[in-house]
């Protein structure tokens, strides 16, 4: 409960800071949500570590590094889709709706291609997929 109260306080502070003080609008709310999730995770992890002797921190760090790599690749592709000169309208100073659509599609496709491999290779994702497949293959008992 204490961690939840702290998370609410952090959320209020970051919402105020990013949305109103810095004027980032909906982008500030998204960043605030991410910051609160990270804060909540770190607090809960630190508290859990006190009670559990072995938490497989090395596996967790490996998974987080893979997710970070995928996120950086996706961010780079999205930035390129937004700022790459061939997508800009020559001499107009802004992009047309068609160019914006091409940029968005390219960002999504590139992000999936760049980010899919490191995330799909994580042990946790593989385990979840195996559990779902096992559950789908199991015949249902009739009562």
Same domain membership, residue 87 and residue 39: no
pLDDT at 107: 47
89 — pLDDT class (breaks 50, 70, 90): very low
Same domain membership, residue 83 and residue 122: yes
Same domain membership, residue 91 and residue 28: no
Same domain membership, residue 78 and residue 137: yes
Same domain membership, residue 65 and residue 47: no
For residue 132, pLDDT beyond 70 = yes
* Mean residue pLDDT across the chain: 75
pTM of this structure: 0.54
- Picking from 37, 53, 69, the residue at the C-terminal end of a domain is 53
Residue 16 and residue 11: Cα distance in Å, rounded? 8
> What domain count does the chain have?
2
Same domain membership, residue 119 and residue 63: yes
Residue 3 and residue 9: Cα distance in Å, rounded? 10
pLDDT at 98: 47
Same domain membership, residue 47 and residue 61: no
Same domain membership, residue 63 and residue 116: yes
* Domain around 27: 1-53
Same domain membership, residue 127 and residue 64: yes
Closest to 15 measured CA to CA, from 42, 40, 38, 33: 33
Same domain membership, residue 108 and residue 88: yes
pLDDT in tens, 117-130: 555 566 666 777 88
Same domain membership, residue 64 and residue 81: yes
pLDDT in tens, 25-51: 888 898 899 889 989 988 998 888 888
Same domain membership, residue 71 and residue 47: no
Query: Could you give the dihedral angle defined by the CA atoms of residues 62, 65, 71 and 73, in that order, rounded to the nearest 10 degrees?
Result: -110
């Amino acid at each position: 409960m204490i961690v939840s109260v702290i998370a609410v306080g952090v959320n209020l502070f970051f919402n105020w800071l990013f949305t109103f003080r810095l004027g980032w609008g909906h982008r500030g709310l998204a960043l605030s949500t991410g910051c609160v999730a990270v804060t909540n995770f770190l607090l809960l992890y630190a508290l859990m570590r006190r009670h559990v002797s072995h938490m497989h921190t090395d596996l967790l760090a490996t998974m987080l590094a893979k997710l970070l790599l995928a996120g950086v690749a996706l961010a780079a592709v999205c930035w390129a889709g937004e700022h790459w000169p061939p997508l800009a309208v020559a001499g107009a100073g802004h992009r047309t709706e068609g160019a914006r659509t091409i940029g968005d599609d390219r960002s999504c496709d590139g992000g999936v291609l760049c980010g899919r491999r490191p995330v799909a290779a994580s042990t946790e994702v593989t385990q979840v997929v195996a559990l779902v497949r096992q559950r789908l293959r199991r015949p249902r008992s009739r009562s």
